[in-house]
Chain A
Amino acid sequence: METALAVLVGVFFTFAIYLLLSRHVIRMLLGVAILGNGVNLLIFTAGRITREAPPIIPDHLTVPDVAVANPLPQALILTAIVISFSFFAFLLVLAMRAYQELDTDDTDDMRVAEPANDVAPPVSY
């Protein structure tokens, strides 16, 4: 199971990196979304896959009586999902605004902040 998931994480990362290498903001955005999911799966796998009971303590006990699944990776993933979702939302709006203002979604054409024909500083006083 771990091996299969590890391979799947690799596949996610491959797609994400391929998309992030694109010049187009929309593809990069898709890359970011896939990368986030790949990392979540990675944390899940790194936290050990067990087919145990859910981590709920019965009413009459103070500690679980059987081996239970590890809840911590799930808490980590939950945090990471929330964060990556908010980032995705921000980047989506940013991409739209960039398309409206700069009239391009090609990062090579985004040269407003760093103009290609920038003048050199004066060499004499």
Chain B
Amino acid sequence: MAGSSDTIVDLSQAMVTAPTTAADWLVIAPVALCLTFSALSLMFRKDVSRQAPLAIVGFALLLIVAILLLRHVWMNGTMVMTMGRWLPPFGISFTVDMLGAMFVLTTAVIALLASIHALADLDSTQLRYGFFPFLFLMIGGVCGAFLTGDIFNLYVWFEVLLISSFGLLVLGSEREQIDGTTKYAYLNLVATTLFLVATGYLYGIFGTLNMADIARKAPLLRETAPLMTLAVLYFFAFGMKAAAFPVNFWLPASYHTPRIVVSALFAGLLTKVGVYALLRSLVVLLPAERAILAELIAWVAASTMLLGALGALAQNDIRRLLGFVVVSGIGVMMAGLALGSPLGLSGAMVYAVHSMLVMTALYIAAGLAGSITGSMAIGATGGGHKADPLLAFAVPALRPSRAGPPPFSGLWPKAMLVKASLDVGAWWLAGAILLTGLLTSIATVRVFLLACWRDRETVEGATSGGLLRAAPLAALLAMTLAIGVYPQPLLEAANTAAAAILDNAGWAAKVFPEAVQP
């Protein structure tokens, strides 16, 4: 440094010289906020009563930031911020397009509502184990994965959310949880290691890790480089993270073991990160390879849907049933990935947003039903309609919403995906989507019939729901109804997002504004 003072260095060749505007900071704000609040709530680990208000403030701020970010992306298109101000691809870029902003907003909504539910649901022992620090870290990891524009950075965010999800999953260290966590931890670790293997190969081939750079170099290397290997590795690794058949077995083995609010968060967020990564890696980075794999992806999608629905039919425990419902939803989203058309992709995105909200609500409702009726086993519950009228309304409203009749949010994405399948003549894929809807409604309506509608005189070990626990459920229910009745804004956002992820040239132009196109 000292010796270079006599030479004049033109920094503009290596660094971003334009001042960073306030709007640019929005790109990094969700991650920075979550990590800061994670550290803050860790400081209050001795005084857990202060963690709860801190968490509500933190997630409320996150929600505001996410809304501002979405608004900015909606008006100005993709936003880019590069760490350390090194010009991309040398600095790590965060690139937010409509898809990322939409998912970050949904994540913020779920995090806020789940933490409100957690206030009533968790006792101080669980809080002392570090629920809120882990939660903030996990949400930070999820937001980071949705925002980053660098493939190795995506791996790092996967690991951040994975290690904090281990912490949340094993919180309380009950026998069941340790069992579930063992299976969850090993299989997810293998999946992320495969992701790292694929990323190592990708670096060897491309010499870059910036996603926009990879996307614009892929057509030049397609003839000579083994890009198909990369695509298959990514498909396998992220398919495992998303719990696609036949690598889905970690999910039904673990999702019913932790506290219900943790299950709700996991079901809402974690598998969707896998779907998001599939969209990013296959649709954006390796589109030609995705087109070749489309048939395989479609079969995987159809079998995931049907396996999830059939598995749900066979379960007696409500939480385990819901685990299979999560799996079947992943299949529906992968159908959109297999189709790859703008309509199919936006259908998958709308379904992902719907699924995040509804799965979280379903687990919260299951927790309420369990505590009101005193049991999680379908055969043993009953009398829910007497104990809690909100629950008796929420459950029938939510459960079929998953299957997709009007006026709930499940209708629109399913209609889009069925239409997109029929457009390309994949009638069997459309049939699988519809059959899954039917089977899911049978499985979930049965839960409603037995848990809420059936009369039961004596209820042992039952506790009341409480406003704080029920309020998030009511809010999620209102949202799914709102999307069902007035889907236009969400559909527009999803169409914009689908157009954005199919437009690699536009993306590269945002990330490399002054660069000469290769």
Interface residues of A (CB under 8 A from B): 20, 25, 28, 32, 35-36, 39, 42-43, 45-48, 59-62, 72-73, 76, 79-80, 83, 86-87, 90-91, 94-95, 97-98, 101-102, 107, 110-114, 118-122, 125
List residues of chain A with CB within 8 A of the CB of B253. Answer: 113-114
Q: Give the distance in Å from the alpha carbon of A111 to the alpha carbon of B315 in the complex.
A: 16
List residues of chain B with CB within 8 A of the CB of A45. Answer: 204
> Is B503 interfacial (CB-CB < 8 Å)?
no
List residues of chain A with CB within 8 A of the CB of B200. Answer: 39, 42-43, 46-47, 76
Given A86-B163, A110-B182, A101–B175 Cβ distance below 8 Å?
yes
Q: Give the distance in Å from the alpha carbon of A94 to the alpha carbon of B173 in the complex.
A: 10
Docked-complex contact B152 and A76, CB < 8 angstroms:
yes
Task: Closest A residue to B177 by CB, please name it.
Answer: A113
Q: How far is the CB of A116 from chain B (nearest CB, A)?
A: 13
Q: Give the distance in Å from the alpha carbon of A87 to the alpha carbon of B159 in the complex.
A: 9
List residues of chain A with CB within 8 A of the CB of B173. Answer: 97, 101
Docked-complex contact A125 and B185, CB < 8 angstroms:
no
Docked-complex contact B2 and A94, CB < 8 angstroms:
no
- Residue in A39, A95, A97, A113 whose beta carbon sits within 8 Å of that of B256 in the complex: A113
Docked-complex contact A87 and B203, CB < 8 angstroms:
no
Docked-complex contact A47 and B190, CB < 8 angstroms:
no
Given A39-B200, A113-B254, A121-B379, A102–B178 Cβ distance below 8 Å?
yes
11 A-B residue pairs with CB within 8 Å: A35-B190, A36-B193, A46-B201, A47-B200, A79-B152, A90-B163, A111-B179, A113-B254, A118-B316, A120-B316, A125-B450
Query: Dominant SS at the B interface?
Result: helix
Task: Closest B residue to A112 by CB, please name it.
Answer: B179
Given A60-B4, A76-B203, A119–B182 Cβ distance below 8 Å?
no
Given A59-B4, A83-B159, A121–B316 Cβ distance below 8 Å?
yes
> Is B449 interfacial (CB-CB < 8 Å)?
yes
- Residue in A39, A48, A110, A120 whose beta carbon sits within 8 Å of that of B197 in the complex: A39
List residues of chain B with CB within 8 A of the CB of A125. Answer: 449-450, 454
List residues of chain B with CB within 8 A of the CB of A94. Answer: 166, 170, 178, 181-182, 185
Q: How far is the CB of B241 from chain A (nearest CB, A)?
A: 15
Q: Give the distance in Å from the alpha carbon of A33 to the alpha carbon of B4 in the complex.
A: 44
Q: How far is the CB of A21 from chain B (nearest CB, A)?
A: 11
List residues of chain B with CB within 8 A of the CB of A113. Answer: 176-177, 179-180, 183, 253-254, 256-257
Docked-complex contact B3 and A47, CB < 8 angstroms:
no
Docked-complex contact B178 and A101, CB < 8 angstroms:
yes
List residues of chain B with CB within 8 A of the CB of A35. Answer: 190, 193
List residues of chain A with CB within 8 A of the CB of B32. Answer: none
Q: How far is the CB of A30 from chain B (nearest CB, A)?
A: 12
